[in-house]
Amino acid sequence: MKNRNIKATVFIILLRGFIEVSNAQSLPSILITYHSESGKTKAMAEAVAEGVSQVQGVSYILKPISKVQEQEILNASAIILGSPVYNANMAPQVQEFINSWPFDGRPLKDKIGAVFVTGGGFSIGEEAVMFSMIRSMMIHGMVIVGGEEVEAAFGASAITGEGEFDGKEVQEIFLEKAKGLGKRVGDMAGR
Ligand SMILES: Cc1cc2nc3c(=O)[nH]c(=O)nc-3n(C[C@H](O)[C@H](O)[C@H](O)COP(=O)(O)O)c2cc1C
């Protein structure tokens, strides 16, 4: 009798573990990925992740583009991509990353896409870079989502090197835009 009880208990524990793992695997997964040399775009990526984490029923992966595996791109329901502005372009590493995305059969079609950037100054490339990344996502057939507020309509951006924003950590006003972007993408991916 005692043996039977032990077997039943072990079976229930294993079954619960199996159900938990299956649930975790079936949650929509959001890939938040970025390139960052001096930490500003990384700080925005972490704020995006904080926003996603406010949404129930979705999971996320947060990592630099250099660490992303192709399978993580294919598994993702949404990709939120961040770049610093370099001479009014996305960082070359981000362009290379996009160029590496699988295209045959359009496996990224209908995935959600969203972007965030950091740039040194106002109106010297941030919006151009957001649209550049958005355009590439659209070539893949992705569905683009902007931020929660009109101030992040095309994605979240932060100014990191001009006037009062120079020489500091990324300011809260910009991190809030990133959180809003993460939350909105999380909401959409969960639907
Ligand atoms: C080579 C280079 C070119 C840059 N060009 C621009 C630019 O055209 N416009 C802009 O707003 N900021 C420009 N910046 C500033 C960076 O975009 C800004 O410092 C950014 O926040 C850095 O992000 P990170 O800390 O994630 O590396 C440039 C920086 C570098 C290193």
Query: What CATH number is associated with residue 140?
Result: 3.40.50.360
| Mean pLDDT to the nearest integer, 98-126 | 97
Helices 172-190/40-53 angle, 10° precision: 40
Rounded to two decimals, what is the model's pTM?
0.89
123 domain-assigned: yes
pLDDT in tens, 177-188: 999 999 999 999
22 domain-assigned: no
Of the pLDDT bands very low, low, confident and very high (cuts 50, 70, 90), residue 71 is very high
| Element housing 139 (H / E) | helix 126-139
Alpha carbon of 98 to those of 62, 101, 138: distances in Å? 17, 5, 12
Return the ligand 1 atom nearest residue 42 CA.
26
| Mean pLDDT to the nearest integer, 138-145 | 98
Q: How far is the CA of 161 from the centre of ligand 1 (A)?
A: 8
The reported pLDDT for the residue numbered 14 is 66
5 domain-assigned: no
| Mean pLDDT to the nearest integer, 73-98 | 98
Tokens 């500003």 — which residue? 40
128 domain-assigned: yes
Distance (Å, whole) CA 2 – CA 160: 66
The reported pLDDT for the residue numbered 145 is 98
Ligand 1 environment, Cβ below 6 A: 36-42, 84-88, 118-121, 124-126, 160-161
Residues 6+ positions from 174 with CB-CB distance below 8 Å: 44, 118, 156, 157, 158, 159
Domain that holds residue 91: 27-190
Q: How far is the CA of 90 from the centre of ligand 1 (A)?
A: 9
31 domain-assigned: yes
Q: How far is CA 9 from the centre of its chain?
A: 40
12 domain-assigned: no
Pocket probe for ligand 1: among 85, 94, 175, the residue whose CB has the most ligand atoms within 8 Å is: 85
Return the ligand 1 atom nearest residue 88 CA.
8
Domain tally, the chain = 1
Of the pLDDT bands very low, low, confident and very high (cuts 50, 70, 90), residue 23 is very low
36 domain-assigned: yes
9 domain-assigned: no
